[in-house]
Structure 1
Amino acid sequence: MTSEKSLIGNYGPWAASLMPKIPPLSFRNENQKDLAAWKKAAFTKTTEMIASPPKNKLPEVKTIKKYVYDGLEIEELSWQLPYGRPTNAVLLKPRGTKGTLPAILGLHDHAGKKYFGYRKIVKTSDDQHPLLKEHQETDYGGKAWANEVAKRGYVVLVHDAFAFGSRRVFYEDVKGLDWGTVNTAGKSDLDPEKTENIEAYNAWSSEHEHVMSKSLFCAGTTWPGVFLSEDQTALDILSNRKDVDPNRIGCGGLSGGGLRTVYLAGMDERVKCAVCVGFMTTWNDLILNKSFNHTWMTYTPLLPQYLDFPEIIGLRVPLPTLVLNNNQDELYTLSEMKKADNILTEVFKKANASDKYQARFYDGPHKFDLQMQQDAFAWFDKWL
């Protein structure tokens, strides 16, 4: 895009010009001929830029409850990281299965709904919150996709991400801000599960996002870095289970889950198969057109000097990678989604792994509908 009009006015073309056409650590560069040497250098620099907080030892996992629902054995789990409130999670697998199974780490979305975490992509009872039911109708074709893929023979773990669900910033823990009010569980006369209270919290937490991001930058880390560290802990927990084959683990998710897939699958080779849904474009698209549409959780400062956005997940080449896009997705420019596809196509082709990469485009807005789910599940089945 060369128009003087952009999100940042006539500064747009100048800002875009700061991005090298092919960043120096891109595998697309002619001087990058050795796959292993390139991966080592690119991974090292990307690790430095993401600046994840130090990983801690594997936490103790507590089983809160076990039951059967929807033909699945379900475990409600919890673990305590060295900071913040405990992480809640749910594990699903087909009822009555024996031995080890392939596994999937299901990564929930953002959707401006930080009150909820893993609950957005699972269903554990007929008594489902109306906001969750509505969300699954609009974004997931009326299905809890984690349940649906578990039924195909997978152990599926879904946990609350940093700042979501059980890991959300509790309003009563915050000081120094005098904007907004939120009804919270800290007041005995208020029900936090009331729709109006949840919506008030979601509005407040959306406004709080830039505060968290600035604080993380000042702490020497990034939001993608915190996501990566916590998602890798969940991956540790999943891969250590006796009912899981650690050599057959995949991950995937829509939107914010797609973002987390980009970083986790790009940075951890234990993820043998990845499906990124509704989160693929170029840094150029974000510079000029779409940064206002996106959470502060997207950005790793300085990394664009070394890799374009698609090349983060491209670090996993030659491991199987599927990217699902929507042609009318309001979060991205279609031409830049196509450029991202071209970038990854070139990376996998150069690594002699063209069969391990696919991108698909569907009509419609931002979503992970039933057809997309079937294509994603078939990809998991093929490679896991």
Structure 2
Amino acid sequence: MSDRPSSLGGYEDWPDFVRDASALTGDELTTTVAGLLGVPEPPQPPAVRIVDDWQSDGVHGQVLEWTTGFGPPTRAWLLRPADGPSGPGLLGLHCHAGVKSVGAERLVELPGSSAGAVKLRQELYEDRAVANELARAGFVVLCHDTFAWGSRRFGLDPLPWRLRDVMATYEAAWLAADHSPGDDEWYDVAAGHHENSIAKAAGLLGTSFAGMVAYDDLVALSVLRGLDEVDADRIGVFGFSGGGARSAALTALDPAIKASAIVCMMTTYDSLLPAYFDAHTWMFTTPGLARHLDHPSLTAGRASHHQLVVYAEDDELFPPQGMLTADRELTEHFHYGPATYQGLFLPGPHRFDREMQDAVKDFLLSSL
């Protein structure tokens, strides 16, 4: 037996799960996208455990936990208005940001928020918890850690074989700079490199990194839809950056989603070559996908949901022409309805600031 450390720390049951799972099927688009991404069929909605409960600043919050069938349990945050009737359901999809030590907590303000979540909100969300803001506006908001993030992170102690030399180089540089990284900083650097290993394993199993993220998102969507206080006919999703890529895939996979808001995650795939693709995660670069569906086409899907895309004109992750072309293509996709598309261009870099959050809130209020 090999003494080489596992490269699937905490996920050693993942290969058997994928091998035994049926492929997700549905209408033509669902079946096509699920096949391209390699999305397994989620089981029945999982049993949900309430871990914590709190009320603060007009929001009633709960910490939830469930299992997806493999890997570590999922941690999630459910927020609703503290007073008055609950409204439509929203699934909040957290960004990538190169930070896997923290998942959906970056979207939520709660008693005792972690330092990592607070830092991300300050850097990318203009120091506002977008989920709390939406809950105060009348939505029931569920935000979950997805595959490889937060509670669903991969274990990297001991380090997998290929990561040993990589992290030794970082540790030597930190030592030379007299810098002592905290546990989260160390983990995020290692996890960034480990994403390549996860993508390799996914390919061997006949799925993809994006396909497994979509699987986790579908399980969370089933939890949201099953809540007594949520109208299953009024479900929306929103996401910034990598969360926007997740929103596009999820809306294509589930035709019952009525509204989707994507912030700073829209371009054509061709425009990423040759200079921009390397800035992006495997969540956005599934092998073979672009041969069948460009990102605007995937996002438009059936054109039966209401779609908002917010663009940052100075976004360092996307070429301007790619964003403009995507906006034109989305306008064409939705031209004959039955639903609508709005493209909003705002100056500035890659972020999800308060102006963008307010635009998303207004869109979701009018669409659901």
User: TM-score, normalized by length of structure 1?
Assistant: 0.82
Residue of structure 2 aligned with 1:61, choices 48, 54, 65: 48
Q: Give the residue type in structure 2 aligned to 1:143.
A: R
Corresponding position of 1:144: 129
Give the paired residue count: 331
> CA, structure 1 residues 352+270, in 2 after alignment: closer, same or farther (shift >3 Å)?
closer
Given that 1:327 and 1:362 are in contact with CA atoms closer than 8 Å, whether structure 2 keeps it comes out as yes
Q: Distance in 1 between matches of 2:61 and 2:116?
A: 22
Cα RMSD for the two superposed structures: 1.9
Corresponding position of 1:302: 288
- Deviation by residue 1:348-371 (Cα, 9 ceiling, x = unmatched): 11x334x61011111110011111
Corresponding position of 1:128: 113
Corresponding position of 1:284: 270
> CA, structure 1 residues 363+204, in 2 after alignment: closer, same or farther (shift >3 Å)?
same
Q: Give the residue type in structure 2 aligned to 1:368.
A: F
Q: Distance in 1 between matches of 2:277 and 2:194?
A: 17
User: TM-score, normalized by length of structure 2?
Assistant: 0.86
Corresponding position of 1:115: 101
Establish whether residue 176 from structure 1 lines up as the match of residue 161 from structure 2: yes
Q: Distance in 1 between matches of 2:337 and 2:55?
A: 44
Secondary structure in 1 matching 2:198: helix
Q: Give the residue type in structure 2 aligned to 1:82.
A: G
- Deviation by residue 1:37-91 (Cα, 9 ceiling, x = unmatched): xx95444332221111232222110011111122211111000121100000010
Residue of structure 1 aligned with 2:348, choices 326, 344, 364: 364
Secondary structure in 2 matching 1:88: strand
Deviates more, 1:130-139 or 1:363-372: 130-139
Aligned pairs (5 A) from 1:318-357: 318-349=304-335, 351-353=336-338, 356-357=340-341
Given that 2:316 and 2:349 are in contact with CA atoms closer than 8 Å, whether structure 1 keeps it comes out as yes
Aligned pairs (5 A) from 1:12-23: none
Given that 1:213 and 1:297 are in contact with CA atoms closer than 8 Å, whether structure 2 keeps it comes out as no
Given that 2:272 and 2:319 are in contact with CA atoms closer than 8 Å, whether structure 1 keeps it comes out as no
Given that 1:43 and 1:315 are in contact with CA atoms closer than 8 Å, whether structure 2 keeps it comes out as no
Given that 2:103 and 2:150 are in contact with CA atoms closer than 8 Å, whether structure 1 keeps it comes out as yes
Q: Distance in 1 between matches of 2:304 and 2:42?
A: 26
Q: Give the residue type in structure 2 aligned to 1:49.
A: L
Corresponding position of 1:203: 189
> CA, structure 1 residues 41+64, in 2 after alignment: closer, same or farther (shift >3 Å)?
closer
Residue of structure 2 aligned with 1:74, choices 58, 61, 70: 61
* Structure 2 unaligned regions, length at least 5: 1-25, 169-179
Corresponding position of 1:265: 251
Establish whether residue 105 from structure 1 lines up as the match of residue 91 from structure 2: yes
Q: Distance in 1 between matches of 2:343 and 2:243?
A: 17
Question: How far 1:267 moved relative to its partner?
Answer: 1.8
Question: How far 1:316 moved relative to its partner?
Answer: 3.5
Secondary structure in 2 matching 1:85: coil
Secondary structure in 1 matching 2:182: helix
Secondary structure in 1 matching 2:165: coil
Identity of aligned residues (%): 33
> CA, structure 1 residues 163+173, in 2 after alignment: closer, same or farther (shift >3 Å)?
farther
* Structure 1 unaligned regions, length at least 5: 1-38, 183-193
Establish whether residue 157 from structure 1 lines up as the match of residue 142 from structure 2: yes
Given that 2:33 and 2:252 are in contact with CA atoms closer than 8 Å, whether structure 1 keeps it comes out as no
> CA, structure 1 residues 82+362, in 2 after alignment: closer, same or farther (shift >3 Å)?
same
Residue of structure 2 aligned with 1:167, choices 152, 166, 190: 152
